[in-house]
Amino acid sequence: MLGVIAGGYSVLHYAGHARSSVVSADSALEIAEGEKLPVRRVLGRGAGVGGGLVVLSACMSDLSDGDHDEALTIATAFLAAGARGVVGSRWAIEDDVRTAVLMVIFHRFLGESEPGVALARAQRWMLDPARQVPVELADELVDVLARLDFADPAIWAAFTHQGVS
């Protein structure tokens, strides 16, 4: 995964688990059974050569448990390593909810705008009581989207975008 950060990608999408730590540099992605990619290792990589968008589909990937300014997270470590932008989440969110929300962001909005704008449009869509679920999504995702209470900030506000938009 770190090799990809050096550049030459448009989107790097990680789907898995993350753990936030009181010591921000110890926060990590869980990339394999028993193997972690901590913030300190991402930062130790140094800046890349202008990579693309990193999407961290993992709980708490943009959360700092201990540092008062919340500046050092898994997401910001990828920015420091050369990503142009990073999408991450501030808190735990159910796997099926996270998948459905990210599918809406990618499917409906990302193709027509920059990531930060796409996220903002997706959030406005979630808050629109007259929203229409994209029929092109898999039936399982349509079912999940249909049962969600998008007015709940725990859903629509979970994801952040940092970087160039």
For 54-77, what is the mean pLDDT?
A: 85
- What is the Cα Rg of the chain in Å? 16
Residues 54, 109 within the same domain: no
> Looking at residue 50, what is its pLDDT?
63
Q: What one-character DSSP code corresponds to residue 137? A: S
> Looking at residue 69, what is its pLDDT?
64
For 106-128, what is the mean pLDDT?
A: 82
> Looking at residue 5, what is its pLDDT?
64
Give per-residue pLDDT as tens, 79-112.
Answer: 988 888 999 999 999 888 888 888 888 776 666 6
Strands 85-89, 28-32: pairing kind: unpaired
> Looking at residue 110, what is its pLDDT?
66
Residues 71, 111 within the same domain: no
Give exposure, 80-100, as e/b (b: 16+ Cβ within 10 Å).
ebbbbbbbbbbeebeeebbbb
- Which residues 6+ apart lie within 8 Å of 81 measured at CB? 2, 5, 42, 43, 45, 46, 47, 48, 51
Task: Judge whether residue 49 has pLDDT over 60.
Answer: no
The structural domain count of the chain equals 2
Residues 124, 156 within the same domain: yes
Domain span including residue 29: 2-88
- Residue 132 — very low, low, confident or very high, per pLDDT cuts 50/70/90? confident
Residues 81, 102 within the same domain: no
